[in-house]
Amino acid sequence: MQRDCYRCGHPLEERLAFCPACGAPQIRVSIAPQQPSPPPDGLGADLTSTPSAPLPPELASLAVAGIEWKYFFRTAAPLAAFTGMLTVPLALLGFFVLLPASLIWTIARYRQHRPTPLRGGQGARMGACMGLLSFGFFLVFFLGAVFLNQAMYREMIISVVRDRAAQASDLQSQQMLQWFATPDGLITFTAVFLAFTLCCFVIIGLGSGALAVALGKTRNRSEL
């Protein structure tokens, strides 16, 4: 391959370093191929990485979703009303039979509507909400019964307080128990009783909800 001298224009061979006509050195400049500039930080991984494939249905069903409270409350409300109403005359039956059974049935219906796995903590929260809802209905029926039978309720509380005061050995305990027979004492006694009942509803609901979820997991494993 031939080229011309940059000074005199004499044709030269490619391998010659000096022009034979004018003696000018022939400078060769090699241009390195331009390298592509690296992408900005955080962008190259996104451009070069391949999109992740979707999870198979078997694994996707294992993802734990949140609780659909609207459906849960709609299903639990009738049972909570029944539990709260019967707990007024039959406290032990309401606490230890109706509330756990209602929770087990409600969570089973919830799983049929939304077949996603439930954690024990989610079951406990559902149980606590069921307990609060049942206590709300209990409070309505209890206060209604007290309002309609004020004299009977007062006589019942006074009778219980006098029996306890008679069994007390020291004078201070007798005076304190007799104070509960006064109007202020009756109000305080009722408030303490309602607070204790609320704690029972919530605690039993927490345990029953977690137990209902655990029973559901055990049944699913046995079916597999």
Please state the φ and ψ torsions of residue 88, each to the nearest 5 degrees. -65, -50
Compute the mean pLDDT over every residue in the chain, rounded to the nearest whole number: 81
Question: Looking at per-residue confidence, does 35 or 223 come out higher?
Answer: 35
Question: Looking at per-residue confidence, does 200 or 115 come out higher?
Answer: 200
**pLDDT at 44 (0 to 100):** 47
**pLDDT, mean of residues 175-180:** 81
CB 15 within 8 A of CB 9: no
Beta strands in 67-202 (DSSP E): none
87-91, 94-98, 103-107, 179-183: lowest mean pLDDT where?
179-183
Q: What CA–CA distances, in Å, run from 142 to 37, 84, 88, 162, 188?
A: 78, 9, 6, 23, 16
**pLDDT at 179 (0 to 100):** 85
CB 127 within 8 A of CB 207: yes
pLDDT band at 95 (very low <50, low <70, confident <90, very high): very high
CB-CB neighbours of 122 under 10 Å? 19
Longest dimension (CA), the chain: 138
pLDDT band at 208 (very low <50, low <70, confident <90, very high): very high
39-43, 157-161, 182-186: lowest mean pLDDT where?
39-43
**pLDDT at 169 (0 to 100):** 74
pLDDT higher than threshold 80 for residue 32: no
Instruction: State the pTM of this model.
Output: 0.67
**pLDDT at 63 (0 to 100):** 46
CB 4 within 8 A of CB 12: yes
pLDDT in tens, 99-115: 999 999 999 999 999 88
